[in-house]
Chain A
Amino acid sequence: MSTEVNPSSSPSTSQQQVTPVQRKLQKILDLKLESDKDLIESLKYLSTFFNENSVRTRRSLRSTIEKRSLTLNDQFEECFRVVKQQLDQVNDTVTSMSTCCEDMTQRLKNVKAQTQELINKTTQIQNENQELNMKSSITEGFIERFQLTPNELNALRTTRDGFLHPEFFNVLKRVKSIYQDCKLLLRTNQQTIGLEIMEQMALHQESAYERLYRWLQSECRLLTAESPEISKLVSEALDGLKERQVLFKYVLDEYGTARRNALVRGFIDALTRGGPGGMPRPIELSSHDPLRYVGDMLAWTHQSTASEREYAEILLRKLKDWNELQKTIQTLLGYITEGLCRPLRVRLEQVLVSQHEPVTLYKLTNLLKFYETTIKQLLPVDCQLVLVLDEVSNLSSKMFLNALNATATRLIEKVDMPTNDLNLSDELRRTLALLRDILETHSTSMIPFESKRTDFQQIVYSIVDPLLQMCSLSAAKLGVIEMAVYLVNCVSAIRTTLAVFAFTDEKIEMLEGQIDANTDTLIGEQATYILLRTDLLDAYRIVEKQQQESNANSNALALKPGMDTVTLKAAMIKFDSYLASPDLYIMPQLKYLTSAVSREKIKKRSVELICAAYASLYSAIMDSKNSYANPYSIMPHTPEQIVKLLS
């Protein structure tokens, strides 16, 4: 409506007015109404309500339009209000939503913040949890490794009935290994726990050992049967206890005591009751026979010792160390067999004391020595039983030697003159018989070869020397020849007795020396006897003397008294009769010689002496310086002829 023209505008400004008018006109002219859509639309719309083209209408057009416009505006406003209201509502809603959202966001933010913390915490807790789990499994592992389970603890504990739990040793082994492992712990920084566990395990171990000890002790106390039944468990337990030397020893002592009692009881039973139904018979039944009695007792001891050794080996079967095992067994055996000492010793001594017979005593000595050596092999050297056996066998040996010496002393105390036949006295014969008996026992005795030699010397010296002494004493009052005969007889008898036994060479040599010396005496005497009987003795002595003296200033033999031809001739006649029957010229005492060999020897050797004497006499007579007128008439035989005649 700005295009409205206002012609009453001030003409003062014509120029200027023109131009705007022009411009307006121009503008109007330029208006192409047909192309102005708005105008068309407006007109179209106008046509809708402008039905009557009248003045009035034309006049009121404007207002109508305005009215219409107003109405429309009203309408529009009305419509728009609703819209606005709705929009407002929407706005409100949106705003509230927004606040709500904001709120929510805020809250979410808060929650998120809070959750974060929670998550952090959770993670932390989870980590902790994991860590704890790990720790727990480690701890469990640790406990499993370093602690005992209740079951295991149970196994270690005492049960009412006193049985040993079969798991006992495994648990004990575990306790030990734990204890060992703790040492490893101590090397780490876990020393406190290590020490604590060690202490705990040590306590367990201690109580377990204590319990093992008690159990073993009571088990061992029951091992008193003749043959004990030693279970594997006992052996195992004993081996387990080995680490506690003191307890181990106590248990062995307990076992030893039990076995010792069993052994003594067994011994007494064997002595007094014998086997089942009295077979084998009780040993005491043979107590009248000392050898049998002693032998049976000692054989029983030997066998029982061997059995005890086996039992001990069974008991200690778990011990690994061989040397230690042997040592332990030996000690144990020594202790066990100690019980036998008293009953055995009393009986052995009783037997010995009641014996006086040297031969029996000697046999007993041998028996005792034999068993001493035999039993010694099973036992320690220093154990009581060995000592007792040693003592008893020494006692026996001493008693034997005493008996022997007593016999010998009796010999010397009661020396009789030899009988007329110069033979052995009864005493000597008896003693020799005794010696033979003893030596027979000796050579068949069971003792080792070497100790036989020393034994022998003692026996021989105890008997033979006094015998010799006795012979010399009893011969003291005899003449030289009788004495020599008697001594040869006696010594030969002794020699013959000894000759059949071993170890006698030295003594025999000595005896033979004595025999030879006495035989030599007899030979000399025999020769002298012959010379005396044939009156040649003086002549022979003179010749001998002359030969010894220096030859220079000696007188001729023929001039000496008793050396004259007549005397010599007479003597030679006697000598001839000797040559004819030499057996008549044997000393009467020689027939008492018991040994024919000696007699022959004396005869032969004396003949040799006679021959030698004849030879020297012959050469003296033949010697021209001795001035025999006709020496051949004095001595018709040459010495060679004499030797021939006499041999």
Chain B
Amino acid sequence: MANQGPYNYSYIFKYIIIGDMGVGKSCLLHQFTEKKFMADCPHTIGVEFGTRIIEVNGQKIKLQIWDTAGQERFRAVTRSYYRGAAGALMVYDITRRATYNHLSGWLTDARSLTNPNTVIFLIGNKGDLDGQREVTYDEAKRFAEENDLLFLETSAKTGDHVEDAFIETARKIYQNIQDGSLDLNAAESGVQPKPTTTSRSPNGASGTDGSGPSGDSKCQC
């Protein structure tokens, strides 16, 4: 009964990727969804969208990732996409100090426009360009700790830690679900349970969905 098809998953998590223009948000997404580096990535127009199914603690989770444009002119548009994101990946470029300096602005946006449970993950991208580094790992790490963020340095070019960042975020969200701090039944939590089991009962019949689907069996006569 195990269907390995692309549609078998237990949850949908909604992510948003934010950060200054040119820090490699779209490249990160591309690297994550396609496992390829996009050398000449055009500027994102407004928002773009990608999905991938990952596995966390044996649960298949579909990530619905909204990649926003970093350009200032799109800020009005991208702001509207923070709603209901379960995870926010906040990206800066380790070779451009300005992108790091703008993080507090992004963080304020993320905090004020998402719900309190949203997991915010700080990503220092372009880790492959260590020679041109303008922001040290330790400094960013400290910033992350002060603001209670998860943190990793990645390289969308080589793919280093890209998976980790996305999956760690999901793991944290999943943990929140298990703790019960994330209420799945509330609208716009950014997480949508999608047990592969069929239940004839309409949604909302059970609030203790945290343990996940208990199996594929379905009682029938």
Contacts and interface: CB of A to CB of B under 8 A. Distances in A.
A166 B220 contact: yes
A622 B147 CA distance: 92
A163 B79 contact: no
Given A224-B202, A276-B115, A446-B77, A313 B7 contact: yes
A356 to B, nearest CB: 20
A444 B6 CA distance: 39
Nearest to B216: A232
A631 interface: no
A275 B196 contact: no
B202 A300 contact: no
B64 A307 contact: yes
Nearest to A444: B73
Interface stretch (A1-9, A266-274, A417-425, A515-523): A266-274
Nearest to B62: A310
A280 B187 contact: no
B199 A229 contact: yes
Given A302-B47, A306-B49, A280 B220 contact: no
B131 interface: no
Interface stretch (A173-181, A291-299, A340-348, A585-593): A291-299
B46 A292 contact: no
Given A163-B221, A299-B81, A367-B77, A306 B64 contact: yes
A295 B46 contact: no
A159 B195 contact: no
A161 B200 CA distance: 11
A314 B220 contact: no
B3 interface: yes
A253 to B, nearest CB: 19
B211 interface: no
B203 A225 contact: yes
A280 B194 contact: no
Interface string B195-221: 111111111100000000000001111
A280 B199 contact: no
Contact of B221 (A161, A235, A313): A161
B3 to A, nearest CB: 6
Contacts of A313: 7
Contacts of B196: 231-232
B70 interface: no
B186 A275 contact: yes
A299 B77 contact: yes
A280 B84 CA distance: 7
- Among A273, A298, A314, the most chain B Cβ lie within 10 Å of the Cβ of A314
Contact of A232 (B3, B45, B220): B3
Contact of A279 (B73, B77, B116, B201): B116
A277 B116 contact: yes
A275 B80 contact: no
Interface string A11-26: 0000000000000000
B77 to A, nearest CB: 6
A222 interface: yes
A336 B195 CA distance: 23
A370 B77 contact: yes
Contacts of A275: 83-84, 115, 186-189
Interface string A308-351: 00100110010000000000000000000000000000000000
B77 A295 contact: yes
A476 B111 CA distance: 59
Given A279-B116, A280-B84, A163 B47 contact: no
Contact of B183 (A225, A269, A276): A276
For the residues of B in contact with A, the DSSP-based class is loop
Contact of B220 (A164, A229, A317): A164
B5 interface: yes
B187 A270 contact: yes
A296 B77 CA distance: 8
A116 interface: no
Interface string B32-50: 0000000000000111010
Contact of B47 (A229, A279, A296, A374): A374
Interface bin, chain A: 35 or more
A166 B199 CA distance: 15
A226 interface: yes
A63 to B, nearest CB: 128
A239 to B, nearest CB: 13
Contact of B188 (A163, A228, A274, A298): A274
A231 B192 contact: no
A296 B80 CA distance: 5
B202 A276 contact: no
A389 interface: no
A386 interface: no
A276 B80 contact: no
B73 A445 contact: yes
A291 B221 contact: no
B113 A219 contact: no
Contacts of B220: 159, 163-166
Contacts of B201: 222
B82 interface: yes
Contact of A231 (B49, B80, B198): B198
A159 B218 CA distance: 15
A544 to B, nearest CB: 59
B179 to A, nearest CB: 14
A279 B47 CA distance: 22
A219 B218 CA distance: 15
Interface in B41-87: 45-47, 49, 51, 62, 64, 66, 72-74, 76-77, 79-84
22 contacts: A159-B221, A222-B200, A222-B201, A227-B192, A229-B193, A231-B196, A231-B197, A231-B199, A233-B198, A266-B187, A269-B187, A270-B188, A276-B115, A280-B82, A280-B113, A280-B188, A292-B79, A303-B66, A314-B7, A317-B7, A363-B76, A374-B47
Interface of B: 3, 5-8, 12, 14, 45-47, 49, 51, 62, 64, 66, 72-74, 76-77, 79-84, 113-117, 183, 186-189, 192-204, 218-221
Given A276-B117, A298-B80, A444-B72, 20 more contacts: A159-B221, A227-B192, A229-B195, A233-B218, A275-B83, A275-B115, A275-B187, A276-B183, A277-B115, A279-B116, A283-B83, A295-B76, A295-B80, A296-B83, A299-B80, A299-B81, A303-B81, A306-B49, A374-B47, A445-B73
- Please name the 8 residue pairs, one residue from A and one from B, whose CB atoms are nearest each other, closest first: A225-B203, A231-B198, A299-B80, A276-B186, A227-B192, A444-B73, A275-B188, A279-B115
